A and B are shown apart, each in its own frame.
Chain A
């Protein structure tokens, strides 16, 4: 093999590598510098950016031999290089790294090394970068989490630090006065690891003797598999095993709700979409494994495919799952409330339209990766272990165990740092395959999806067709909503039933509607399965509902905010599922915040009027939304947390909820620190390990801050109570007067006075002098606890308030978050190009536990929702994806990031931790209809389908059409 010489981060290397190796592979796999990430391997995402002789390149497509004799800088060497060049500066990190931490520009962190290395090239040129320059510099470097706002903030801040020596603090929306930890913009606990490239994502792990596996995917969207010949593949030197359905010892199927998804298609199970796996090749290298796949012969009998949910319901449609009772119907979901006939009879105006929303892709930047390590591999791996970044570790454990015919306890899931999920990492992808391959070969086995495979396999957001009929009186009071929804759930159930239930129950919008009749058909088709994706069905129905609201406002001549205000849910109102809201409904305040800000920005009595500058037409548009927190619908919703305190004065909270970038770890640390009176930095968090951390339940439904946050808070509070009890005994004071604050435990004089009245501090009549009061360090308090023989660790299982199944009335959900989004768009009247210039939003989140990460959730959600409205569409033609590469999936880059003005409304919910409720999803919901409404205000054309087709928009403008039904990605007419 030819010899490659290069210098990386100041260290010279001489390596033997094959000519077709790429720089990213050399760095990651040959040198172990895994800070450089691979998100696509097609020069699209920028995650692999490194500097070669000072010039930034996508190392994934950079042939290693082009770097012969070159000097390379990666994220791992950045801080050291900076310190050497600037010995006088303080701080261990490069200012960009420091700024990314302080300004919340790293969430999942997968994009962070690339963004930082790329931004460095700009700061090498100028220390006064304009936003335009930053955007130009980072235009090919994607981030799916932050919405880029924090990235812009951080790059500006780093430049300022380099100019002035001072790091500016982030400017964040105002929140209520903080407690000791709650309400403060604390940097994420894992931030340093993420900005230095040390964070370990699944593909960053390597084990001695590790093999690599790759799956063969179905060539057809629907086909019976008559025969699989693996002989040639098995004979290939370096191939250790080729597995098929015959090798699955336990349950041949898995599934989050329905057990309908085969581990391998074959035998009794046909392939039902092109992502179905048929065989798994396990070999010495990934390259060999993929080569082996090419040698497998599969005899298919192609079956007719059904690829849209309406045809799927026709009586003669091909049936996907003959063992199910209702053909292709996964679920018929019904909401019945009042009497719609009467409601429409009372209406003066009725608006009815049919809307379509696209199938969309999470495009988390880290492709799926699982590593199976066989039981007994070494001391650390007594059990069969799967390393994976997954949103539901305990469910993975169960599904792996079941298919391998093991007890749950015989399997351990160890979560790794995750490069985003957004709902797309809830289902099984490689976990069972990796575990099975490890068990069969007796060696660790890694399965890393290529980006193409990721696009092809994991569940998407449901495409929907939604017909909504809305009735209102002359003065704008809603009288009835009737709706019919079709959801394309794809080949397997995944969470399809739950998602479409949420779409259905939220289909009246955040309004009090006295009469509603809503029917939803979640259908099996031969498309990719559809399941959870941020917004969880509500994204889809909100587009339909909020578009109808604007049409209604126009027909009634009522201001769109006023119409929403008249009908807004408020305390005392009843939802269409029969739930009467008793508290924490901040919608009215969100409406008035946004209304005030838009009027101020527009300086106009009629803020929705369009205006023109050159070829561009501008207008604001608005939409409102709401989203449940928690599973709801009667599902038991609980999480268990373990808190341990240590004699050195630290504490740890353990819970197997998933950290996918949203900073749950920061929330859990803050709740624990708050209750124990510890500085935030002294609390460590362990998540996603089924052996060491109890079950936090699924990370879905915006539930973790609420449910796991409460579990951590209550576990920490009981731990504090235990320590209070021990100290009370020891020092003879009532336990409640012992305060835990800033790492100390002491008698709080004010509390004592309240308890005892004035005196010597003891019980009335106690003759002892004052002075038995004390101040201990937290460490001493823990030592006292241990000395008393008490356990320094305890668990608390938190059960969220009970909910009721749909159709039974009562509380279907224990909390809702609300939001109002206004978008200013420009439409180029000559080209149809739509741009979002600015957004103004307000979110009722109950309580801002950490305003920095909350801002991140809001900013990221907004840009994701913007993509949903304007560019994103996972295009499938007859069951075969057109969208095969990341380059074909158009998600917003930094150039499309709008200006933002966000407000937080803190209408506390009684049971939430410190009043908090979920925010993960609501931030992405109203923005799509707000944009569609703004476009309509600007040019008078309403798009009934997303993503908006700018081509169709222009043609409609030129022809004077008022509505368009086409969306981008529809087959040419």
Chain B
């Protein structure tokens, strides 16, 4: 493997200036479960690895029922599902965090790294999208925020500009009657990359029978994780029943634009988009009703 330098800045500004100075020769290191493997397999070449785990903001996991969740970009998965208040408030995110890799991976892997890696199959992306999360980005020109669904630019590419990095992810506080879930399909073994992933969230009314609003998102069926706005919009105002679920599933299938590769054909993936949407939406509704 190619040699690299390792730096560990302690402030956001310091990190930004290192990144700005080295351009594409520098790469942010969070948990390293993507980056190091890519370096080892010579899929990536860098000179400087910038560890962001020492920054207080990227290591922060702060939740309040009013303000919602500030999830530092470097917080590893196990800390997320290990926090019972967070686990109760963001069940879709928790589904994803428990799925990413094995336990040894989850001890390191961050949600920030998962979305910055920008795999179309990243498990946390559909989950974050249905939680209406936004990315907090720091760069040479200060800070900006973008919705998670707008964060991706293509396979392996994000909207981050030179010198910029992801500081944290903000998830709004769940409304009463909220429920969410994430499911993926990996038939060949547990360690496989999702052939299709689907996330769903709903807000039900006081009776818990009617859907007030909903969000549906898919992974691995397009060059980027996909918010299926049409499905979410169609669900608003419908009774939370099978017919609504079927309608959303059909819209999700329609929105999916998958490719054929070694892990599945386009036809199969389109079909699975509907199946998984159905299942994940049912789970989200059940959670909302149980809450």
Q: Which residues of chain A have a CB within 8 Å of any CB of chain B?
A: 2, 18-20, 22, 41-44, 46, 49, 55-58, 61-63, 65-66, 118, 121, 136-141, 287, 452, 830-834, 870-871, 875, 882, 885, 887, 890-893, 895-896, 950-951, 954-955, 958, 968-969, 972-973
Contact = CB atoms under 8 A, between A and B. Distances in A.
Contacts of B262: 875, 882, 969
Q: Which of B32, B98, B260 has the most CB of A within 10 A?
A: B32
Interface in B97-131: 98, 101-105, 107-108
A62 B53 CA distance: 13
Interface string B47-60: 00101010000000
B41 interface: yes
Contact of B187 (A136, A950, A969, A972): A950
A42 B41 CA distance: 8
Contact of A892 (B36, B103, B189): B189
B83 interface: no
Interface string B12-32: 000000000000000001001
Given A61-B32, A830-B275, A951-B264, A871 B189 contact: yes
Contacts of B190: 139-140, 893, 895-896
B33 interface: yes
Contacts of B185: 831, 833
B271 to A, nearest CB: 7
B37 interface: yes
Contacts of B187: 831-834, 950
B146 interface: no
B268 A954 contact: yes
Contacts of B108: 57-58, 62
Contact of A141 (B6, B102, B272): B102
Contact of B104 (A2, A46, A287, A973): A46
Contacts of B103: 56, 118, 121, 136-140
21 contacts: A19-B5, A43-B36, A43-B37, A55-B107, A57-B108, A61-B36, A62-B108, A138-B102, A140-B103, A141-B102, A833-B187, A870-B188, A887-B191, A890-B188, A890-B191, A890-B192, A891-B189, A950-B187, A951-B268, A955-B268, A968-B188
Contacts of A65: 6, 8, 51
Q: Which of A2, A452, A951 has the most CB of B within 10 A?
A: A951
B188 A871 contact: yes
Contacts of A896: 189-190
B206 interface: no
A18 B265 contact: no
B242 to A, nearest CB: 14
A140 B6 CA distance: 27
B141 to A, nearest CB: 30
Given A46-B104, A57-B108, 5 more contacts: A19-B3, A22-B36, A43-B105, A63-B51, A950-B188
B78 interface: yes
Interface of B: 1-6, 8, 29, 32-33, 36-37, 40-41, 49, 51, 53, 78, 98, 101-105, 107-108, 185, 187-192, 260-262, 264-265, 267-268, 271-272, 275
Given A19-B6, A43-B101, A46-B102, A954 B271 contact: yes
Nearest to B102: A140
A20 B104 contact: no
Contacts of A895: 189-190
A66 B31 CA distance: 10
A893 B188 CA distance: 10
A65 to B, nearest CB: 5
Given A20-B4, A951-B265, A890 B40 contact: no
Nearest to A888: B262
Contacts of A834: 187
State the 7 A-B residue pairs at the shortest beta-carbon distance, nearest first. Answer: A140-B102, A19-B6, A61-B36, A890-B188, A951-B268, A895-B190, A871-B188
A234 B2 CA distance: 20
Nearest to B1: A20
B104 A49 contact: yes
Nearest to B271: A954
A62 B5 CA distance: 15
B104 A118 contact: yes
A885 B6 CA distance: 26
Contact of B40 (A18, A61, A955): A61
Contacts of B49: 19, 63
B183 to A, nearest CB: 11
Nearest to B195: A951
Contacts of A62: 32, 108
A65 B78 CA distance: 21
A712 to B, nearest CB: 39
A44 B32 contact: no
Contacts of A139: 102-103, 190-191
A892 B190 CA distance: 8
B272 A43 contact: no
A969 B187 CA distance: 13
A697 B39 CA distance: 43
Contact of B37 (A61, A138, A882, A951): A61
Contacts of B41: 42, 452, 885
Nearest to B189: A890
A972 B188 CA distance: 17
B2 to A, nearest CB: 8
Contacts of A287: 1
A465 to B, nearest CB: 21
A237 to B, nearest CB: 15
A968 B2 CA distance: 34
